[in-house]
Chains A and B, each alone.
Chain A
Amino acid sequence: MQISSMTALELGRKIRQREISAVEAAEASLARIREAEASLNCFVTVDEEGALARAAEVQKAVSSGTLTAPLAGVPVGIKDNMCTEGLLTTCSSKILYNFKPTYTAEAVLNLEKAGAVIVGKTNMDEFAMGSTTETSAFGVTRNPWNTEHVPGGSSGGSCAAVASGEVPYALGSDTGGSIRQPSSFCGVTGLKPTYGTVSRYGLIAYGSSLDQIGPIARDVSDCAAVLETIASWDRKDSTSVKREDCDFTAALVDDVKGLKIGIPSDYLAAGLDEEVKAAILKAADVLKTKGAQVEEFDLSLVEYAIPAYYVIASAEASSNLSRFDGVKYGYRAKEYEGLHSMYKKSRSEGFGEEVKRRIMLGSFVLSSGYYDAYYLKALRTKALIKQAFDRAFEKYDVILGPAAPTTAPKLGESLADPIKMYLGDIYTISVNLAGLPGMTVPCGLDAKGLPIGVQLIGDCFQEKKIIRAAYAYEQGRGPWELPAPACVAGTADAAGGNGGCADGGVRTAAGSGCADDGARTAAGKGGI
């Protein structure tokens, strides 16, 4: 088996058993990145030198027996909104084009303590604002299943990197679905933990009351193992929660007998693609066959989650992003007259359109005269949405539904109409408003050969229930094949796609002869 086809835990096991060295694992990941980046652009920064040095260091610790963690020596991609000391962290924004943090995010630090080898920073929608990874200042990321389509967003780079075998796993962040929706579009498994489970220290904030870091991987076991590693109480994040039940891999049990699963009928209503609906219901049937009790119910308030979310997230963003002013780091305008002109020009030139749109909306809904009508109204709606979930979890252990209304749209189709793009978040954002854990697991392909994911939602702190349901489903579903290397590498030029590759018939492991011009060095893309 090729290293690029292994799960994180499989690779970690082989490293511990000395069958593969950490350096070989890093080399394989970097080789795969060189091969696939020209057509996919999953990374903003690839740290080849740093990764190889770090892998050698980790290998020493593994060899001497001081490092025995399951993920020791396994390469990882980190979403570019998590600070990594000395390694470029851009949030895919021009305003942070040259920012090298002086410290590392707590979640990333936890991974490093467990022997993770960071190969690079993954592309995303600018400041995580978007659902397609098209608002990145460093170019779009393409979907490995079909490069004419988006990978979803905002953690599109992380999901596409895992789907294409560039890295066995990655970290993403989820404010309104940014782990679960791109996981669905890319055919990978992603988990957004209960709010407060993973420290947000060092995560560049978008909507602080909604943001949460989580794992993206090839299967449920990897997600559980990664979450177990990154979850921690952190005094540097005042919303961090002390949990005693972070042994998430203990929930990898193939047994759902008696588990009560509810499917919100509101999630299956108009607007949901028929093929997606069929795949979701088929996934529910798999769990039913294994002894789960499945029924439909009315969740209510589903459509109100979107406007409430955009008010709250934009309000928080307008406050959080006020720190980018051209003084302490990042981009400063070349020409200005005085301090305020410098602030305004640096921000106006540094931020992209979608970010500016949300900052303005957020400033407006927080301004005097509108605060009650918009901001407080949204917070009241949030309370009602939380109550609706509380009622649902009195009856059900797990809520099952789609992660997105459709499979991945084509590049360029979404940005023209922001509201239409926001509507695509309908099944994911209420989970953030209510602070719940949610997970996406691949459950089928549509007629175009694009993946569909089923979303499992749990009550607060009930990750183990969704992990168990997801694991049992995965066992029932059977093996899930990701697009093979030959499909994703070197087939697409800037405008082209690889259409025919995703339909399952042509998945060979043959080499691609792709040119080595995709990956960037740790110096970053620069030039802006």
Chain B
Amino acid sequence: MANIISDETMEYVGILAKLELSDEQKEQAKKDMARMLDYIDMLNELDTSGVEPMSHVFPVNNVFREDEVANGDEREKILKNAPAKKEGSFMVPKTVE
């Protein structure tokens, strides 16, 4: 296996991905990721020098429009899906002391 994922890297990925893994899951994830990266390294066989990265197949330009309100007040409807709510807002754990 060419790629070895360190504990630090896995920790960092966990922070970026906002995922919390058990030690066992972490070990498995390290193996899975190393195997995927070994496979992805196949791309290095290709000479892509001078090739522009293509994010969209068609030219995508900024699409501008007036910022007009097209819908009504949907607060009640939207809050119906909230795991917790208070006084017409989404409720989350206290973040500022």
Q: Is A475 an interface residue (CB 8 A)?
A: no
CA of A241 to CA of B58, assembled, Å: 10
* Interface size, chain B (Cβ < 8 Å): 49
Please indicate the chain A residues that have their CB under 8 angstroms from the CB of B46 in the complex.
301, 304, 380-381, 384
Beyond A100-B80, A342-B93, A367-B16, whether A380 also contacts B40 by CB under 8 A is no
Query: Is A525's CB within 8 Å of the partner chain B?
Result: no
From DSSP, what is the main secondary structure of chain A's interface residues?
helix
Docked complex Cα distance between A440 and B54 (Å): 27
Contact with A along B62-82 (1 / 0, CB 8 A): 010100000000100110111
Q: State how many angstroms separate the Cβ of B2 from the closest Cβ of chain A.
A: 13
Query: Which residue among B18, B32, B82 has the maximum number of chain A CB atoms within 10 Å of its CB?
Result: B18
Interface positions of B from 14 to 60, Cβ below 8 Å from A? 14, 16-21, 29, 32-33, 35-37, 39-46, 48, 51-58, 60
Contact status of A386 and B57, CB under 8 A, knowing A238-B63, A304-B43, A328-B82: yes
Residues of B close to A361: CB separation below 8 A = 33, 36
Complex CA–CA separation, A363 to B56 (angstroms): 20
Q: Given A311-B40, A360-B19, are A196 and B58 neighbors across the interface (CB < 8 Å)?
A: yes
Known contacts A361-B33, A367-B16, A460-B57: does B74 contact A102 (CB below 8 Å)? yes
Q: Does A338 contact B (CB under 8 A)?
A: yes
Any chain A CB within 8 A of the CB of B92?
Answer: yes
Q: Which residues of A contact B17 (CB under 8 A)?
A: 318, 347, 356, 359-360, 362-363
- Asked if A195 meets B52 with Cβ closer than 8 Å, knowing A310-B40, A419-B35, the reply is no
Q: With A and B bound together, what is the CA distance between A239 and B13 in angstroms?
A: 30
User: Is A343 a contact of B18 with CB atoms below 8 Å?
Assistant: yes
Complex Cα gap A304–B40 (Å): 9
Contacts of B93 in A (CB 8 A): 336, 338-339, 341-342
In residues 426-446 of chain A, which contact B (Cβ within 8 Å)? 433-435
- Chain A's closest residue to B81 (CB) is A329
A339 touches B95 (CB 8 A): yes
Residues in chain B near residue A326, CB distance under 8 A:
83
Q: Which of A257-265, A370-378, A463-471, A497-505 contacts B (4 or more CB under 8 A)?
A: A370-378
In the complex, the answer to whether B55 meets A360 with C-beta atoms within 8 Å is: no
Please pick, from B29, B35, B42, B65, the residue contacting A360 in the complex, using a CB distance under 8 A.
Answer: B29
In-complex Cβ contact of B32 among A99, A196, A357 (8 A): A357
Nearest CB of chain B from residue A349's CB, rounded to whole Å: 9
Docked CA distance A360–B12 (Å)? 10
Contacts of B18 in A (CB 8 A): 322, 325, 340, 343-344, 347
B88 CB to nearest A CB, Å: 14
Given A235-B65, A347-B19, A380-B48, A360 and B33 touching (CB < 8 A)?
yes
**Other A-B pairs, 13, CB within 8 Å; known A209-B55, A378-B43, A382-B54:** A301-B46, A307-B40, A310-B36, A327-B83, A328-B90, A341-B93, A342-B93, A343-B18, A351-B19, A357-B32, A364-B9, A374-B40, A381-B43
Residues of A participating in the B interface, judged by any CB pair closer than 8 Å: 98-100, 102, 195-196, 209, 235, 238-239, 241, 301, 303-304, 306-308, 310-311, 318, 322, 325-332, 336, 338-345, 347-348, 351, 356-357, 359-367, 374, 376-384, 386, 418-419, 433-435, 460
Query: What are 24 inter-chain pairs, A to B, with CB distance below 8 A?
Result: A100-B81, A102-B78, A195-B58, A209-B55, A209-B56, A238-B60, A239-B58, A307-B43, A308-B43, A311-B43, A318-B17, A338-B95, A339-B95, A341-B20, A344-B18, A344-B20, A347-B19, A360-B17, A360-B29, A363-B16, A374-B37, A378-B43, A380-B46, A380-B54
